[in-house]
Structure 1
């Protein structure tokens, strides 16, 4: 029987001080039931951003204590499946997001999920592509609001974190104290308007520690086709530099490729992409395809 933690077990900041809401063994599958990023406060199109309780946004379900996970370990979290709710909400407001100066009024749109498509007011059909916006582990020395992405994870809003993705973090406290939330039925790179298609749902997960990956620059992503470094910083330029340098570090440290050759390979075959640019810190990822370097498939064997 798969353990399941309900959305009654929420936290709004990653912290070493939190008491575990559930304990699981490595390799054990478990499910986290999540609320949308607004904690269910937006129920219809009349519910606008200025009416929200901002102390109750970006909830994560957990924390989950991973048995045997110790500080310094590299923890891999497998996203086995994502089941989303029956609808989503997307919002805009003056001054919010990249085009905020062009927005003259607040608006909320409720989107129904039908036949794996989001019908946007009859003018566009957006394919459903469920992803996890907030995921991470507890930092050792600070309490970090879920809305802030940093090395521990948090609100990275990376659309690659979907079914079939493995997310790696360096464990900072005993048991890792991981959690996730902020599901999106769909989101574009950058999330430029301040929200994707925000929804509730359930995430089926599995975790394991990978001793051979000690020293991995985290957060780090792996899918069937590629690996990616993720970096958050105050400016987009700093985030770009961090993501690129971490990929160079990964290729040199784990595949014994020189810095010169890593840079050449990355220029020819890698892709620099934005995750989100609307949080307190900007988040960027650098993707590298596995087909270019077959050795990547044996990374954690």
Structure 2
């Protein structure tokens, strides 16, 4: 029996004061059933953003206590599978997102899923690529609302946080106190309109401490093809600088490259990409291909 939490076990701020809803061993698979970012409040296209209870948005299922995890350790979460609901929700509102005042009318769209394709109002059909918007661990000394991304994770809205990925965080409290939610059936880089295709569903995960990765710049993502540093800051420029500096730190500290060579390779073969531009802090990632690392690096965690 896989340990499971349902959508009744949610929290709205990552906090060291949270009481664990479930405890699992390292390497043990566990399942989190998640609500959409609106907490299930939107039932029809008549339900607009102005009608929401904003105290109950961006719920994360958890927290999950990972046994044996101590503050300061690097813990990796393998996303084994993501299953989503049969529909998604997208919204726009005046003043929200990057377009801001260009939007003059509030609107909600309920979008159906058909054979792994998202039907956007019979205008467009988009391949479904499930991802996790909110994911993280508790900070050590304060409460951070789930909608705010920081070093602990949070609402990073990074579209490569998908099944087959591993994301690393630095644990700041005993057991890490992990949670996730805010699934999307699809989202573009930047999430410029304030929402992706928001949906509910379930996520299968397992977690493990990696002693050899002490000092890894986190949040840090890895899949079969690339590694990525993720950084959030007040401005896009600051977030971009943070993501770049973190990748330089990784390539020099863990891949053994000289700084000049690391920067040259990043400029030649790496990609700087927006995750989201609509939260209290902006999130940017820097992606670097693993095929280059294979010739120079001892980084083989995944």
Is 1:299 matched with 2:269?
A: no
**Equivalent residue runs for 1:77-226 within 5 Å:** 77-226=77-226
* Cα distance in 1 between the residues matched to 2:220 and 2:137: 13
- Verify the 8 A CA contact 2:255 2:298 in the aligned structure 1: no
Q: Name the counterpart of 1:244.
A: 244
Q: Quick one: structure 1 residues 115 and 249, their matched pair in 2 at CA, closer, same or farther if it must change by over 3 Å?
A: same
| Contact kept? 2:92, 2:194, Cα under 8 Å | yes
In structure 2, what is the equivalent of residue 230 of structure 1?
Answer: 230
Unaligned runs of 5+ in 2: none
Deviations 1:207-241 (A, max 9, x none): 00000000000000000000000000000000000
For the Cα contact (< 8 Å) 1:290–1:297, is it kept in 2? Answer: no
Q: Is the 2:71–2:172 contact (alpha carbons within 8 Å) kept by the matching residues of 1?
A: yes
Structure 1 residue 256 displacement after superposition: 1.6
Question: Matched residue of 2:55: which SS?
Answer: coil
Structure 2 residue aligned with 1:289: 289
Report the alpha carbon displacement of residue 299 of structure 1 after superposing the two structures with TM. 2.9
Shift of 1:298: 4.0
Q: CA deviation at 1:296?
A: 4.8
Q: Distance in 2 between matches of 1:119 and 1:8?
A: 29
Count of equivalent residues = 301
Shift of 1:147: 0.1
Give the drift of 1:300.
2.4
Change (3 A) 1:104 1:65: same
Secondary structure, aligned partner of 1:272:
strand
SS of corresponding position for 1:185: strand
Taking a change above 3 Å as real, the CA distance of residues 99 and 10 of structure 1, as seen in their structure-2 partners, is: same
Return the alpha-carbon distance in structure 2 between the equivalents of residues 273 and 297 of structure 1.
26
Contact (CA 8 Å) 1:65, 1:175: kept in 2 or not? yes
Please report how far the alpha carbon of residue 97 of structure 1 lies from its aligned counterpart in structure 2 after TM superposition: 0.3
1:256-275 to 2 correspondences below 5 Å: 256-275=256-275
SS at match of 1:246: helix
Q: Secondary structure at the match of 2:202?
A: strand
2: CA distance, partners of 1:241 / 1:64? 32
Contact 1:135 1:180 in 2 (8 A): yes
| TM-score, normalised via structure 2 length | 0.98
Q: Distance in 2 between matches of 1:297 and 1:163?
A: 24
Cα deviation, 1:22-56, whole Å, max 9, x if unaligned, reads 00000000000000000000000000000000000
CA pair 105-245 structure 1, distance change in 2 beyond 3 A: same
- TM-aligned CA deviation for residue 297 of structure 1: 7.1
Per-residue CA deviations over 1:38-86 (Å, capped at 9, x if unaligned) read 0000000000000000000000000000001111100000000000011
CA contact (8 A) 2:255 2:299 kept: no
Give ranges in structure 1 of 5+ residues lacking alignment.
Answer: none
Question: Alpha-carbon deviations, 1:82-113, whole Å to 9, x = none?
Answer: 00011110000000001121111100000011
